[in-house]
Amino acid sequence: MADQTKAHPELRHGTANLPAVTVDSYNVELRDEEGFVGDRANSQAFRTILDEWRERLREVGDDPLGEEESQDVSRKKLDQLLSKGEPEVAGLIHGAVEEFAQELAGVVRRFRRRKGWKTAERIVVGGGMRQSRIGELAIGRATVLLKGDGADVTLVPIRHHPDEAGLIGAVHLAPSWIFSGHDGIVAVDIGGSNIRAGIVLFHRKKAADLSEAAVWKFELWPHRGEEPAPGRDDAVGRLAGMVEGLIGRARKEKLTLAPFIGVGCPGLIEADGSIAKGGQNLPGNWESSRFNLPACLVEAIPEINGHDTMVLMHNDAVVQGLSQVPFMQDVEGWGVLTIGTGLGNAYFTNRAAD
């Protein structure tokens, strides 16, 4: 496979030193006697709480949500029932949101015992839960609970849509020379349920701080639901095809893409681009010492606009958090929690501008 570090020795995947921030920590796994603390505040945890409340109601009467399994009730439907449903069903959802908010606040308390996190003034919450009203209510309620305990911290929903935040953050992985003479980059967001690839345009004429960076086009592949389940090579091939298609679309629109692909991927990312741990929810074995996603992408797409392709990969929670960099300049340190298949996390310290 191609080894881009020989041509670009400055490339260090999973690095702590990025242009705008220092990544103080990420992919922290907190445990107690019950297991991983983060498992209490991921998407599955909310569904479990909702299901437990429904079981209690069935013991004394009818389930206001009917026969549909909790796992199959969409967030959109839950939002509608919360705002326009009968009082009992709305009360059921409110109860699940309240209990989930309690768990989320408890997870934040545990993180704030760690060095760095304890001084965080703001924690951004991203992931799939953020795009729903129930998620926003849980975030707001958790903030109230924390402040009620005297914690000077605010939880805020991530600014961009969850489908786009993990792509937009990739622009903050790129070295400064990338922005000269180029309109945008290719970005990839790999998750336990979906893989996304997109073109992110810088729009630096609108805002030099990249606060107007936006996804131009993207493709989504929901790999978790496919039968038979795809393997690792299938996933890499599908991803490479998505990227090639997007590059072709950008070329037709006369957009000048930088020869750079920014990738967010679950797990602990080694400097050489291998995944030390945390890739268990991805299709196939991504933690093998013989597998290197950045090298695979360089091999599949060796050039962009006639220049050698560079790929830089970091943890997916880090990259999603980076989308908030322009909006976090009023604090020194800040964290991100991403509520999805797991609970991703990262903590940043802003770096002084050169």
Residue range 180-231, pLDDT digits in tens: 999 999 999 998 889 999 999 999 999 999 999 999 999 999 998 788 888 9
Contact 120, 328 (CB under 8 A): no
Residue 4, pLDDT above cutoff 70: no
The residue among 336 and 162 whose pLDDT is bigger is 336
Residue pLDDT, tens place only, 43-79: 889 999 999 999 999 999 999 999 999 999 999 999 9
Cα-based distances in Å from 218 to 45, 98, 105, 315, 316: 29, 34, 33, 20, 17
At 103, the pLDDT band (50, 70, 90 cuts) reads: very high
Q: Among residues of the chain, what percentage have pLDDT more than 90?
A: 79
**DSSP assignment of 116-157:** TGGG-SEEEEESGGGGSHHHHHHHHHHHHHHHHTT---EEEE
d(CA 215, CA 218): 7
Pairing of the two strands 257-265 and 184-190: parallel
For the chain, give the mean pLDDT: 92
Residue 215, strand partner residues: 200
User: Tokens at residue 101, please?
Assistant: 């908010």
Helix (H) or strand (E) holding 97: helix 87-111
Residue pLDDT, tens place only, 162-171: 889 999 999 9
**Three-class SS of residue 114?**
coil
Contact 106, 66 (CB under 8 A): no
128 closest CA partner among 343, 339, 346:
339
Helix (H) or strand (E) holding 304: strand 303-304
Residue 37, pLDDT above cutoff 90: no
State the pLDDT at residue 9. 54
In a 13 Å sphere around the CA of 354, the CA atoms on its Cβ side amount to 5
Class of domain 4-26+161-350: alpha beta
d(CA 41, CA 67): 25
Ranges of each domain in the chain: 4-26+161-350, 31-120+131-157
